[in-house]
Amino acid sequence: MSSPALVLFRKECRVALRSTATWCVFAACASLVGVFFVFALREAEGGPGTLPELFCMPLALAAPLPAAFFTMGLFARERHNGTLETLLTAPVSDAQTVLAKFSAACLLSLVALALCLPVFHAYLRFAAPPPAWDPRALASGWCAIACATVLWTALGLFFSLLCRHESAAGAATLIAGLGISMPVSGAVELPFDSALAPYSLVAFARGVADTRPLFVALSGAAFLLFLSVRVLESRRWLPSASF
């Protein structure tokens, strides 16, 4: 990113980290993952599931929450505060603006996911005796969920451009993210021959590495960012446009 885009990126991160709501979202995300992890352990008691797999299920399910929160106000808030036109006249291109805001929201969403990892280690600390598990499986599952979070963040930024109010953008991102996360996280049982079965994120925590879900997530994020730049360009040339 060039210097103006880097300034915008730092501003978005600084504003978010100074907000109490951001830290509440971090805590809420870790708490939800912990609660659902306990439920998953009880449901899978005596079953074939591994610890990383059981932990990645609620982690993938919770991933759209921080993405929705950190993206809902990226452009909707600018429009509500009347500062969008000022942003559009700043010495920064539309692509740089989208990339800077997306990078800030994506970084904060990934931090929220990283702060959920102590929940897993807290369980191991107090489990007696600690069951065997493979750290590489946990790392693989977390990286797959991180790629999905990149997609949710790009989707949230796109909705923030389209929606007039923050709440509408956040709700649309959360509904769309959960609608996709539920089947690919294992929260909803899929038939063996389901078309979504190869795109399971939890499979990475089992040691099954399939590049298809990663390709879909990253290419989908790139496409949504491309659409976001086009929408922002139309907003620049049609300032009276209503989204």
What token pair was written down for 91?
A: 């010495």
Q: How confident is the model at residue 236 (pLDDT cuts 50, 70, 90)?
A: low
Give the global pTM.
0.86
Decide if pLDDT at 191 tops 70. no
Percent of all residues in the chain with a pLDDT value above 90, rounded to a whole number: 33
Separation between Cα atoms, residue 243 and residue 103, nearest integer Å: 23
Question: What is the rounded CA–CA span in Å between residue 3 and residue 10?
Answer: 11
Q: Two tokens at 222? A: 């790139």
State mean pLDDT over 42-46.
72
Q: With DSSP H G I counted as helix, E B as strand and the rest as coil, what are the percentages for the chain, rounded to 5? A: 75, 0, 25
**What pLDDT does residue 91 have?**
76
**pLDDT tens readout for residues 110-169:** 999 999 999 888 887 777 566 677 788 888 889 989 999 999 999 999 999 888 888 888
Q: CA 191, 155, 96, 2: dihedral to nearest 10 degrees?
A: -50
Distance (Å, rounded) from C-alpha 142 to C-alpha 60? 8
Q: Is the pLDDT of residue 241 over 50?
A: no
Tokens standing for residue 182: 């539920």
Identify which of 161, 22, 156 has the alpha carbon closest to the alpha carbon of residue 87.
161
Measured in whole angstroms, the distance separating CA 175 from the mean position of its chain's CA atoms is 13
Q: Residue 52 and residue 200: Cα distance in Å, rounded?
A: 14
* Average pLDDT, rounded, for the chain: 82
pLDDT digit string, tens, across residues 192-215: 445 555 567 777 777 777 788 888
The more confident residue out of 57 and 130 is 57
> What gap in Å lies between CA 26 and CA 8, rounded to an integer?
22
Alpha carbon distance 66, 69 (integer Å)? 5
Each residue's pLDDT tens digit, 143-156? 989 999 999 999 99
Question: How much is the pLDDT for 234?
Answer: 81
Residue 41 has pLDDT above 90, yes or no: no
More confident residue, 223 or 187: 223
- Within 8 A by CB and 6+ apart from 147, the residues are 213, 214, 217, 218
Task: Work out the percent of the chain whose per-residue pLDDT is above 70.
Answer: 84
At 80-95, the pLDDT tens digits run: 777 676 777 777 788 8
